[in-house]
Amino acid sequence: DAKTTQPNSMESNEEEPVHLPCNHSTISGTDYIHWYRQLPSQGPEYVIHGLTSNVNNRMASLAIAEDRKSSTLILHRATLRDAAVYYCILTLNSNSGYALNFGKGTSLLVTP
Amino acid sequence: KAGVTQTPRYLIKTRGQQVTLSCSPISGHRSVSWYQQTPGQGLQFLFEYFSETQRNKGNFPGRFSGRQFSNSRSEMNVSTLELGDSALYLCASSLAGKGYTFGSGTRLTVV
């Protein structure tokens, strides 16, 4: 499986934008980029996924580099509830049936 | 809309025993996956079922098994429990093309 690299931790102030980076230099042409997050004492939560184009949903935006070797999850206005571990994961396709290969993720701290 | 339901929430078992965990997916979701989460290894994929068939399996010993019923509910079984099996076991369900929705997990403690 292609590997992803994320910073261990990041810190943000409440109500400011947060850019969470992910490097995936060995990504293949058919790999989808998924982001999940895990709040304390909860199961992971789907955030967003994309293939080549930037994607937006109610939770976040996903910016994918033109060469697809990196991507950035953007939280437009961080809230205290966004404090979580964020995982960037590559999968072979976007349909169900794939295994999510969770790495260590980035622990996001949001301060008031 | 009900989420993914896992039962029981907590379980304490003795080494050598076996355990069965249950997962009820979101209505209409036919894919169910299981994950193990430990402080040392993080989140690791166990297996995935779709329409009662196992489609993918992670790198776990044969003591870990699962099944899915015709109503998409799934169970996972761990036989001959070891101390190292203590973990949070998470179940996730998905509709094709969408992300996975996880349950809150079953916390298994082996003593």
Q: Across the interface, do B99 and A46 touch by the CB < 8 Å criterion?
A: yes
pLDDT for the residue numbered B99: 83
pLDDT average, residue stretch B11-15: 98
Q: Which residues in chain B are contacts of A84 at CB distance < 8 A? A: none
Scanning every residue of chain A, which has its alpha carbon at the shortest distance from the alpha carbon of B103? A43
pLDDT for the residue numbered B97: 61
pLDDT at A96 over 70: no
pLDDT for the residue numbered A2: 65
Q: Across the interface, do B55 and A97 touch by the CB < 8 Å criterion?
A: yes
**Which of A42, A100, A104 shows the shortest C-beta gap to B100?**
A100
pLDDT for the residue numbered A20: 98
**Which of A34, A97, A102 shows the shortest C-beta gap to B48?**
A97
pLDDT for the residue numbered B82: 98
Q: Assign B52 to helix, strand or coil.
A: coil
pLDDT average, residue stretch B55-67: 94
Q: Which residue has the higher pLDDT, B106 or A95?
A: B106
**Do residues A51 and A73 make contact, with C-beta atoms less than 8 angstroms apart?**
no
Q: Which residues in chain B are contacts of A42 at CB distance < 8 A? A: 102, 104
pLDDT for the residue numbered B1: 62
pLDDT average, residue stretch A2-29: 94
Q: Across the interface, do A96 and B101 touch by the CB < 8 Å criterion?
A: no
**Which of B90, B100, B105 shows the shortest C-beta gap to A46?**
B100
Measured CA to CA, the distance from residue A85 to residue A105 in angstroms comes to 6
Query: Which tokens belong to A44?
Result: 């992971």
Q: Across the interface, do B43 and A99 touch by the CB < 8 Å criterion?
A: no
Minimal CA separation from B99 to chain A, in Å: 6
- For tokens 């910016």, the residue is A63
Scanning every residue of chain A, which has its alpha carbon at the shortest distance from the alpha carbon of B49? A97
pLDDT, one tens digit per residue, over A27-81 is 988 889 999 999 988 999 999 999 999 999 999 999 999 999 999 999 999 999 9
Confidence label for A17 from pLDDT (cuts 50, 70 and 90): very high
- CA terminus-to-terminus distance, chain B: 37
User: How many CB atoms within 10 Å of residue A15?
Assistant: 11
pLDDT at B63 over 70: yes
Measured CA to CA, the distance from residue B72 to residue B95 in angstroms comes to 12
